[in-house]
Structure 1
Amino acid sequence: MTATDRATELINAAAQAAADKLAHDIVAYDVSDVLAITDAFLLASAPNDRQVKGIVDEIEERLLKELGAKPARREGERDGRWVLLDYVDVVVHVQHSEERVFYALERLWKDCPQLDLPEDARATRGRDAEQQAARQGQGSQAAELDGELS
């Protein structure tokens, strides 16, 4: 089995919406061979809770407007650390960057084929790592400056 055309259409629209809201590390897996409940998973992350919620809202709005799709379930919105949108054919996971590292869903689905995504979504890969490196660099600079001022 492979993901249906409808699942691929939903995944691509959701991936583009996430990319438009500056999500990080967008990736999609065809899980149709290993799960009977859905065809594909989309994973995306963001560095803060507010951005997670913004990405989720944009995905939900875009899929409704462009494809007439409403999620059957929406979970995790209150905390904004990991929001799940279940569209039956696809499940979208938008996680805070820290949750993404901790739960490592990619590790669970690494044997499943990745789905091809729009260029904007593919360009987001590695953003979490870039942002963490930039934060560490800023922390080092602040520590050096603090040492110079002491």
Structure 2
Amino acid sequence: MGKKDISADQLISVIIAGIEDVKGQEISILDLREIENTVCDYFIICEGTSNTQVNAIVNSVQKKVSKELKDHPWHVEGEDNAEWVLIDYVNVVVHVFQKQIRQYYDIESLWGDAKTTLIETSY
């Protein structure tokens, strides 16, 4: 299965499952397709309670996407301090924050025109 065969919906659902596996919190999907000059189609934003959990979320997402879709991120940034890690799957970009860093940068407000979907978690 090549990269071209993976739909954004498939990728998003596997990413969300990877986040939920390690109890990532406050998961949002921002649909950027209607906005001009965006770098990708979707942002997935979530948070962890510590740098340990942020790293666990990042590892879980990468493992799950690799195992289920045989896909790997084009680029990963921010793992060193694990306050804000970006996982770039080209048309889907995942932002994993620590809570206070997420509040500070508030990228949901920066992309206020995006259609936002909040994912309900059961934990």
With the shorter chain as reference, the TM-score category is: 0.7 to 0.9
Task: Specify the alignment match of 1:143 in structure 2.
Answer: none
- Residue 53 of structure 1, CA deviation: 0.2
Counterpart CA distance in 1 for 2:43 and 2:65 is 15
User: Based on CA coordinates, which of the two structures has the bigger radius of gyration?
Assistant: 1
Task: Specify the alignment match of 1:76 in structure 2.
Answer: 78
Task: Specify the alignment match of 1:8 in structure 2.
Answer: 9
What amino acid sits opposite 1:123 in the alignment? T
What amino acid sits opposite 1:75 in the alignment? E
Structure 1 stretches (4+) deviating beyond 6 angstroms? none
Q: 1:111 aligns with which of 113, 116, 119?
A: 113
Query: Cα RMSD over matched residues?
Result: 1.8
What amino acid sits opposite 2:25 in the alignment? H
How many residue pairs align between the two structures?
117
Q: Which stretch shows the higher mean deviation, 8-17 or 33-42? A: 33-42
1:115-148 deviation digits (Å, cap 9, x = unpaired): 4x7xxx4226xx9xxxxxxxxxxxxxxxxxxxxx
Counterpart CA distance in 2 for 1:8 and 1:71 is 16
Q: Is the 8 A contact 1:72 1:86 kept in 2?
A: yes
1:59-115 deviation digits (Å, cap 9, x = unpaired): 000001101110000000011111000000100000011101111111122321124
Gaps of 5+ in 2: 1-5
Counterpart CA distance in 2 for 1:108 and 1:36 is 12
Q: Is the 8 A contact 1:81 1:96 kept in 2?
A: yes
- Residue 36 of structure 1, CA deviation: 4.2
Q: 2:120 aligns with which of 119, 122, 134?
A: 122
Task: Summarize the alignment of residues 19-30 of structure 1 with structure 2, pairs less than 5 Å apart.
Answer: 19-30=20-31
Q: Could you say which structure has the higher helix fraction? A: 1
Q: Could you say which structure has the higher strand fraction? A: 2
Q: What percentage of aligned pairs have identical amino acids?
A: 32
Q: Is the 8 A contact 1:6 1:89 kept in 2?
A: no
Task: Summarize the alignment of residues 30-109 of structure 1 with structure 2, pairs less than 5 Å apart.
Answer: 30-34=31-35, 35-109=37-111
